[in-house]
Amino acid sequence: MLKKRIIPCLDIKDGRTVKGVNFVNIRDAGDPVELGKQYAEQGADELVFLDITATNEGRKTFIELVRDIARNIDIPFTVGGGISSVEDVGPLLTSGADKISVNSSAVKNPELINELVNAYGSQCIVVAIDANLIDGDWVVHTHGGRKPTDKKLCDWAKEVEKRGAGEILFTSMNNDGTKQGFAVEALRQLSEVVSIPIIASGGAGTMGHFTEAFIDGKADAALAASIFHFGEIPIPKLKSYLKEQNIPIR
């Protein structure tokens, strides 16, 4: 079994880290630069920065903030939000991002994934998928979860892999911020249809939830926000716990 990764997520709105429940009821969670630095020091394996309103507001990700965070951390750093062209990526990588994440723009124009992979390589391209369980089907949503599409989760994941993406970041909108656990069944289904790494997101509330995501959901990495931001589960404690469960951790 490959070593699993623990990834804190910084959802950014107006230059601040925020966190909501089911993609709404957003509240402030602190300074992203300070949080990023803290997580790197605590042993996080990677960091994800998502500018959650960039697409809706029709603007690009905050380059200055990316630069400030990158300056303070020494772990891989993925940046997403408002990326809609190959030209958008260069400045982010130059500013210190290691990988970029696309979501709404890839759904709107799937060929963008091919273009990004051709320009920067699969290892650099993460496709984020937000999906909601509706009448038994996981339906892909865009624009920060505001717009349902006609795409189903597993179908879109297979297409994303075929187009060359290096990783999938799957967020269950139903579980997001609830602390009731990850969408384990959906994760398992995803792991059966794609072979690229899957990052589980949405629902972490206990250390046991991470075990479920890794063992039952077969996720390669688990991402969380509020439990880290508000000090509910320290990363070193989580890693020690997972090692006790015989889960290989970096």
Dihedral angle, C-alpha 16, 143, 119, 114, nearest 10 °: 150
Residue 74 appears among annotated catalytic residues: no
* Contact in structure between 79 and 67 (CB atoms under 8 Å): no
Q: Among 51, 68, 74, 130, which one carries the catalytic annotation?
A: 130
Question: How far is residue 236's CA from residue 161's CA, in Å, rounded to a whole number?
Answer: 32
Q: Is 11 a catalytic residue?
A: yes
From 11, 51, 176, 220, active-site residue: 11
CB 101 within 8 A of CB 126: yes
* Residues annotated catalytic, as ranges: 11, 130
